[in-house]
Amino acid sequence: MSSTVHPALALGRRLPNAWDLAALLCVFGLIMAFAQAAPGTFKPLDAPEALAVDLSPTNLPEYALRTTMRMFAALAASLLFTFTYAPFAARSRRAGIVLIPLLDVLQSVPILGFLSFTTVFFMSLFPGRVLGLELAAIFAIFTSQAWNMAFSFYQSLVTTPSDLAEATQSFHLTTWQRFWRLDVPFAMPGLVWNTMLSMSGGWFFVVASEAITLGDKTFTLPGIGSYVALALDKRDLGAVLWAILAMLVVILLYDQLLFRPLVAWSAKFRFEFTASSTGEDPWVLKLLRRTHVLRTAGGAIGDVLSAVGTWRLGKPVRKSVQTVKAPNTFGDLVFYAVVALAVAGAAWKVVEYIAANNVGWADLGEAVGLGCITLLRVVVLIALASVVWVPIGVWIGLRPNWARRIQVLAQFLAAFPANLLFPIFVVVIVKFHLNADVWLTPLMILGTQWYILFNVVAGASAFPGDLQEAAKNFRIGGLLWWRKVMLPGIFPYFVTGAITASGGSWNASIVSEVASWGDDKLSAHGLGAYIAHATDAGDFPRIVLGVVVMSAFVLGFNRAVWRPMYGYATRRLTLS
């Protein structure tokens, strides 16, 4: 029987239909909206309304669009960073020795620490232009997104099942082909969930990135973050509620248009041998399947990307990521000596700078003591968040339909800036004369607890269906199921979430240990408050001291606690 398609039918499949018209209208609408907002980034700093922020709700659509543009620009940079930094750290033993501790340090450096030094740099690149401030804001948002995504991708690379890695050797794939045919697909479920979380993390720090205060100068970029900062300063509760509504609308839009289809698409990369339910496809995917032009264009783009993945760049894979070469003693000694000299040189420069600006041992002792207080808060909060969110995350991850229902709510809660709760906390603490050291503490975990939830959901979503069926067949349940089946399966994901949640909690302490509502200002004892006060005063030497001490605390805690757990997960709990 002939399979030839009638020419008229083939032509009909290529011509636009009503669904194409609806989809193209949406696409062109987005392009026009971004084209209208983009010129504001190139205005001179002294131009009227270049940095003006008004609390009228009619300005919120433009502010929301500008904030969204910054966040997606930062997200693109974060993906590029993730796809270069994580593979280098995972595949090179010596590089990993340097790059992973460096990533620990980077995620612990507070966003205010980056802003204090990068704003001047970016403004000098484009003197007198808003673009310099825009780049500084995008970089600040990048620092709240990139580290979590890099950790997620690195975790997937070092826990790739050995039989899949051996298959790449059997097929003589090059390193480039392995990256696109194995590494990226295997990491995709966890990476998509962590990308969503990174977007939410950007919202959490958007106030600090758009309303930058350095000494006696304040720079405000039109956006939801600067709108919130002005509303809090003027004690305008109505404007705060309008900002919350605008955030909810924006999160709902990009969840429906981008992340919900991505989650459904990433489900096909789950590592399993038995079919499992992935739930109903989102409406955007259904719409795209009904279009003719967009479906054809999407297929062409997919073919191009697939062809790129087949390029034979690099050498054929000979060893899996988990296989470690025999150590070269002399080479290692030279490498460690170079690293030690570089670290010592950097430390000397920092000490020299601090000492030259009248910062002595008493200041160091104060910063270390306050760091111990913040460390206690972080440990308690991470433990409580783990107890609460691990069971909930497993329950959600094993039920795709529920995961999609809860997805937008989880994104909104994760994106909710702690600053918006300042009025409630400040009013209650002042009214009832409560201890700020205790009652400001929950603000630290509001944004960072979701790192644990999202990573556990990603781990449970990627858990092989055949192992679930095996556990059912052997009637494994209760505590035994948790100890022998689920916890080992999600443990690498949990550790990744706990590491990023820990670093994020330290970062959040900057905005959580200091709260204000109009003239009422509260401050808890801690390293975050120390850095925040130094930033407000423009005291750069003490900003440096606070950032260095915070980085030392995070690096030490990760080395002592999280890295041994991560190594255990890699050695003992990797599926093979």
Query: Is 335 a domain residue?
Result: no
**H helix runs in 39-129, sequence order:** 60-91, 93-108, 111-125
CB 451 within 8 A of CB 501: yes
Cα Rg of the chain (Å, integer): 25
Between residues 312 and 573, which one has the greater pLDDT? Answer: 312
Confidence of residue 96 (pLDDT cuts 50, 70, 90): confident
Q: Assign 551 to helix, strand or coil.
A: helix
Query: Is 326 a domain residue?
Result: no
Distance CA 15, CA 295 (A): 11
Residues 495-509: what's their mean pLDDT? 81
Range of the domain at 551: 357-576
Q: 390 and 455: one domain?
A: yes
Q: 554 and 489: one domain?
A: yes
Cβ neighbourhood burial of 543 (10 Å; 0-12, 13-18, 19+): buried
Task: Determine the pLDDT at residue 320.
Answer: 46
pLDDT tens per residue, range 247-285: 888 888 888 888 888 887 887 776 654 445 555 677 777
Tokens of 83: 């796809």
| The most confident of 47-56, 218-227, 388-397, by mean pLDDT | 388-397
Give the closest residue to 454 by CA, choosing from 380, 385, 557: 385
Q: CA angle at residue 241 from 237 to 245, to 5 degrees? A: 170
> The tokens 């706990």 sit on which residue?
498
Is the pLDDT assigned to residue 76 strictly greater than 90? yes
Task: Determine the pLDDT at residue 483.
Answer: 84
Q: 171 and 255: one domain?
A: yes
Distance CA 489, CA 574 (A): 8
Give the closest residue to 534 by CA, choosing from 394, 354, 412: 354
Query: Is 342 a domain residue?
Result: no
Q: 294 and 412: one domain?
A: no
Q: Is 21 left (phi over 0), alpha (psi -120 to 50) or beta?
A: alpha
Q: Which amino acid is at 117?
A: F
Query: Is 43 a domain residue?
Result: yes
Distance CA 462, CA 278 (A): 11
Q: 120 and 57: one domain?
A: yes
> The tokens 């630290």 sit on which residue?
444
Distance CA 562, CA 378 (A): 13
> The tokens 């400001």 sit on which residue?
440
Give the closest residue to 244 by CA, choosing from 66, 408, 415: 415
Q: 157 and 299: one domain?
A: no
φ, ψ for residue 503, nearest 5 deg:
-65, -40
φ, ψ for residue 316, nearest 5 deg:
-60, 145
Task: Determine the pLDDT at residue 278.
Answer: 54
Give me the chain's average pLDDT, please: 78
Is the pLDDT assigned to residue 314 strictly greater than 50? yes
**CATH for 126:** 1.10.3720.10
Distance CA 38, CA 33 (A): 9
pLDDT tens per residue, range 531-568: 888 877 777 788 888 888 888 888 888 888 877 887 77
Q: 102 and 68: one domain?
A: yes
Q: What is the DSSP letter of 58?
A: G
Q: What is the DSSP letter of 258?
A: I
Q: 203 and 303: one domain?
A: no
Q: Using a pLDDT cut of 90, give the percent of the chain over it.
A: 7
Give the closest residue to 83 by CA, choosing from 16, 179, 174, 1: 179
| The most confident of 384-393, 398-407, 481-490, by mean pLDDT | 384-393
Tokens of 336: 């460690």
Q: 242 and 373: one domain?
A: no
Task: Determine the pLDDT at residue 2.
Answer: 47
Task: Determine the pLDDT at residue 387.
Answer: 92
Query: Is 450 a domain residue?
Result: yes
Give the number of domains in the chain: 3
Sign of CA dihedral 209, 214, 515, 390: positive
CB 545 within 8 A of CB 351: no
Q: 287 and 179: one domain?
A: no
Task: Determine the pLDDT at residue 1.
Answer: 46
pLDDT tens per residue, range 370-391: 999 999 999 999 999 999 999 9
Q: How is the chain split among helix, strand and coil, in percent rounded to 5? A: 75, 5, 20
Q: How far is CA 302 from the centre of its chain?
A: 26
Query: Is 416 a domain residue?
Result: yes
Residues 90-98: what's their mean pLDDT? 80
| 271-284: b (≥16 Cβ within 10 Å) or e | beeeeeebeebbeb
Q: 430 and 475: one domain?
A: yes
Close Cβ partners of 533 (under 8 Å, ≥ 6 residues apart): 514, 523
Distance CA 376, CA 330 (A): 41
Question: What is this structure's pTM?
Answer: 0.75
Confidence of residue 106 (pLDDT cuts 50, 70, 90): confident
Residues 441-457: what's their mean pLDDT? 82
> Distance between the two ends of the chain, CA-based, in angstroms?
46
Nearest 10 degrees: Cα torsion 175, 177, 179, 184:
-170
Residues 112-117: what's their mean pLDDT? 63
pLDDT tens per residue, range 196-251: 888 877 777 777 778 776 656 677 888 888 888 888 778 888 888 898 889 888 88
Is the pLDDT assigned to residue 80 strictly greater than 90? yes
φ, ψ for residue 212, nearest 5 deg:
-100, 120
pLDDT tens per residue, range 424-446: 777 788 778 888 888 888 878 77
Confidence of residue 8 (pLDDT cuts 50, 70, 90): very low
Nearest 10 degrees: Cα torsion 403, 409, 411, 413:
-130
Distance CA 110, CA 365 (A): 20
> The tokens 């200041």 sit on which residue?
363
Q: 437 and 484: one domain?
A: yes
Distance CA 359, CA 74 (A): 35
Q: Which residues make beta-bridge pairs with 213?
A: 218
Q: Which residues make beta-bridge pairs with 212?
A: 219
Task: Determine the pLDDT at residue 13.
Answer: 54
| 136-171: b (≥16 Cβ within 10 Å) or e | bbbbbbbbbbbbbbbbbbbbbbbbbbeebbeebeee
Distance CA 64, CA 67 (A): 5
Q: How far is CA 225 from the centre of its chain?
A: 18
Query: Is 42 a domain residue?
Result: yes
Is the pLDDT assigned to residue 573 strictly greater than 60? no
Query: Is 349 a domain residue?
Result: no
**H helix runs in 109-181, sequence order:** 111-125, 130-158, 162-170, 175-178
Task: Determine the pLDDT at residue 384.
Answer: 92
